[in-house]
Amino acid sequence: MIFLTGGTGLVGAHILLKLTENGHKVKALKRKESSLTVIENIFSHYNKADFLQSIEWIDGDLLDLFSLEEGIKDCQAVIHCAAIVSFNPKDFEKMMKQNVEGTANIVNLCLEHNIEKLGYVSSIATLGSVEENKVRTEDDYWKESKSNTQYAISKYLSEQEVWRGVEEGLNSVIVNPSVILGPGDWTKGSSQMFEKVWSGLKFYSTGSTGYVDVLDVAECLIKLLNSAIVNERFILNAGQMKYREVFDTIAESLNKPKPHIKVTPFLKEVAWRVEWLKSIITNKSPLVTKETASTAMKNKSFSNQKIVDALGYEFIPISESIKRYSQWFLEEHTNS
């Protein structure tokens, strides 16, 4: 039996899909008020809707020890995907509570219940902010910097809780995905790139970063969980691509105009301030923050050599992922 957190999200839903396909018995944590729409759409798209019936849902959250205990008991392995992803300064305290304290709770219960192995979905953000054009590997470690986002800080401290568990005897594997490409709630996370282009995105930045298909994230984590590998972390990254190239590929696939206005350093500073003012007036989260505006101007590269060597894994090309999920987006909008 495997217990999974974050089952209603992009990564967790795909991991549950893979696990149920392979006949694993699973329990999954969800908030009582959480919608199952994303996971239902994903399972239905792959003609696996019947497999949803095999999932035992546990209502609760990462700060509810009773629900976590109910989920973890009688399980041999745990997969921890749940986390708050936000670049809004207002959400920092919430991220520290859910991401860090929530992970500590998972680790403590895994130790208490003698869980054989914990699989943790971390982020490339925990590699820290280093100089541009340096290819980052698993040997890059966190460095204090003003350019570290608040989300990165919360994920770094969360990952430290897992390493603390390792020191106390827990077997674990950690994956550090780059920007995850996949379907789901098109208004949230990385999936909203498709929605932004569809709605008429006009601006592009000069930066670049790494991308990985959600199917690769799910497949790699499950392979690592089933392997003899313990107490290692692995970057999951299919390759690097310029933001402009990503948006152009999405625009072509959606038959929409390509972004054509280059974001200059001056325009970047104007943009996040305008969004900040709009958020105060409307009481809604800003579309662009100081953190995301700065990140979009940087060029970041990541090596996947460690996971390739460990599993002989071949990643799905970024362009293939973009085209497939663009088509998925179009189908959903056509049918809605």
What's the chain's average pLDDT?
89
In a domain, 256, yes or no: no
pLDDT at 66 over 90: yes
According to DSSP, the β-strands at 208-213 and 239-242 are antiparallel
pLDDT band at 7 (very low <50, low <70, confident <90, very high): very high
pLDDT, tens digit, for every residue of 209-227? 999 999 999 999 999 999 9
User: What pLDDT was estimated at residue 287?
Assistant: 55
The whole-number average pLDDT for the span 22-44 is 92
* Residue 309, C-beta contacts closer than 8 angstroms, at least 6 positions apart: none
| pTM of the complete model | 0.92
pLDDT, tens digit, for every residue of 102-161? 999 999 999 999 999 999 999 998 987 666 678 999 998 888 877 788 888 999 999 999
Backbone angles phi, psi at 330, to 5 degrees: -60, -40
Token pair recorded at residue 87: 């670049």
- Is 209:158 a contact under the CB 8 Å cutoff? no
3-state SS assignment for residue 253: helix
* Residue 196, C-beta contacts closer than 8 angstroms, at least 6 positions apart: none
In a domain, 202, yes or no: no
The whole-number average pLDDT for the span 288-296 is 65
In a domain, 174, yes or no: yes
Helix (H) or strand (E) holding 198: helix 192-198
Between 156 and 192, the more confident residue is 156
Q: Give the residue from 223, 193, 190, 209 showing the smallest Cα distance to 314.
A: 223
In a domain, 221, yes or no: yes
In a domain, 156, yes or no: yes
Q: Of all residues in the chain, what percent carry a pLDDT higher than 90?
A: 66
In a domain, 128, yes or no: yes
User: What pLDDT was estimated at residue 334?
Assistant: 74
pLDDT at 275 over 70: no
Distance CA 152, CA 85 (A): 9
User: What pLDDT was estimated at residue 99?
Assistant: 96
pLDDT band at 187 (very low <50, low <70, confident <90, very high): confident
According to DSSP, the β-strands at 77-80 and 179-181 are unpaired
In a domain, 229, yes or no: yes
The whole-number average pLDDT for the span 37-49 is 92
Distance CA 128, CA 151 (A): 11
User: What pLDDT was estimated at residue 292?
Assistant: 64
In a domain, 92, yes or no: yes
pLDDT at 272 over 60: no
Q: What is the CATH number of the domain that holds 145?
A: 3.40.50.720
Instruction: Provide the number of structural domains found in the chain.
Output: 1
Give the residue numbers spanning the domain of 219: 2-181+211-238+301-317
3-state SS assignment for residue 207: coil
The whole-number average pLDDT for the span 88-108 is 92
Distance CA 1, CA 193 (A): 35
Token pair recorded at residue 260: 């054509």
Token pair recorded at residue 93: 């305290």
